[in-house]
Amino acid sequence: MIERYTLPEIGGIWTEEAKYRAWLKVELAVCRARARLGEIPSEEVEELARKADFTVERIHEIEEETNHDVIAFVSAVAESAGDVARHFHFGLTSSDVLDTAGALQLRDSLDLIQDEARSLTRLLCEMSLEHRETVMVGRTHGVHAEPTTLGHKLAVWAFEMERNLERLAHAREVAAVGKISGAVGTYANVDPKVEALTCEELGLGSEPASTQIVQRDRHAEVLAALAILGSTLEKIALEIRGAQRTEVRELAEPFGRGQKGSSAMPHKRNPILSERLCGMARLLRANAQVGFEDNALWQERDISHSSAERVVLPDSTILAYYMLRTTGRILRGLEVDKERMLKNLNMGGGIVYSGRVLLALVESGMGRDDAYALVQDAAMRAWGGEGSFREILEAKEEVRERLGLDLGRLFDPSYALRNLGVVFERVEELKRRLENE
């Protein structure tokens, strides 16, 4: 991932130095496991742990000759460790190290992502409760439908983020698995107890049956969970982008002092952060496709997955973390124009209350088809600019006879709040659960 979108906390997990440190951690854990089983002297393992070291530059120098990164790593460590290096990488295949160390990197990345996702979910809960009575027009197909509240919209996002938290937690559990089972997973050259002790020390589960590699359905689940998370963040960003349009202007992402919107048009204030999130969500979905294709490999292993994973696993975790942080930044600085929301709600003289008028006419005894035709005619005339929806209705004698002259009771947006309390009770409960975790 390019530096522009790489936050240091998660970027540090995926550096070359961090990768090789994870490899070393696995190798030494294997040696300690063998020592506990009496296979090698404990004092020599302690010496190995003290001496074992490397430089990224030296590994790359050796790899230029060997064209094999794990052999280059083992050789570089052996140069620093001396005689006790004979215990290093004994009985292992490259993927024992790569996949087990990769699980450590994925686990640590997902821990950061979960923390940020939890923080964003709490923020959405707080904002939902803050705006529970911020009335605005609800839209379907991009067209005015009925009144809703901004708090309700935020509640929908909060509960979707809760589901993302559940998916992330399961993906972390699935990903945090190692294997120390040898060349084709048969434990031919390594005691299964070594695997159990190694994974226990590293805080990982053990693959119950592996080939030469940990099975890639696990990585596919991680990438899928991140792609779904990205689609939620895209949903939020897309809503803000739409609401910041000149004709709508109900919401706006923060615009910093000295920020410029366009090199040619000084008036421009563009939703660039939200647009950035929408673009990044496409990358997460594309990377998830790679995860699905990496699962099917030739027999016990090929390496067609390896080159792709070197890109998609770091990129997706780094992107997801950046997107979460950026979404939080947008929401914390979100500008809400309540007056504009009410103005848009009342556009057309109350067309959004057509459903209430329809039901009132039916309750008065009018047939539903007749009532629908009457209300639709008034609405279409209002859309055409012949007057406000309410005025056109009040001019209809049949409406006056059945509903009276004052239709104000039907044109009150507060009815949208009548039963929404149950949703906000659920938001409060979600907020309490998150605070107690």
- Identify the pLDDT of residue 58: 97
Candidates 1.10.40.30, 1.20.1630.10, 1.10.238.10, 1.10.8.60; CATH matching 351-410 = 1.10.40.30
- Identify the pLDDT of residue 304: 85
- Identify the pLDDT of residue 175: 97
- Identify the pLDDT of residue 378: 93
Residues of the chain with pLDDT under 70: 256-268, 405
Candidates 1.20.200.10, 3.40.630.30, 3.30.70.360, 1.10.3720.10; CATH matching 3-134+142-254+263-342 = 1.20.200.10
Catalytic machinery residues: 141, 262
Give the distance from CA 187 to its chain's centroid: 37
Q: Which two tokens stand for residue 386?
A: 């012949």
The whole model's pTM is what?
Answer: 0.93
- Identify the pLDDT of residue 142: 92
Q: Where are the domains of the chain?
A: 3-134+142-254+263-342, 351-410
- Identify the pLDDT of residue 269: 80
- Identify the pLDDT of residue 398: 87
List, for residues 370-418, the tens digit of each pLDDT value.
Answer: 999 999 999 999 989 898 999 999 888 888 888 876 778 888 888 878 8
- Identify the pLDDT of residue 258: 59
Q: What sign results for the dihedral spanned by CA atoms 368, 374, 377, 381?
A: negative
- Identify the pLDDT of residue 250: 96
- Identify the pLDDT of residue 404: 79
User: Residue written as tokens 């522009």?
Assistant: 4
Give the distance from CA 313 to its chain's centroid: 14
365: left (phi over 0), alpha (psi -120 to 50) or beta: left
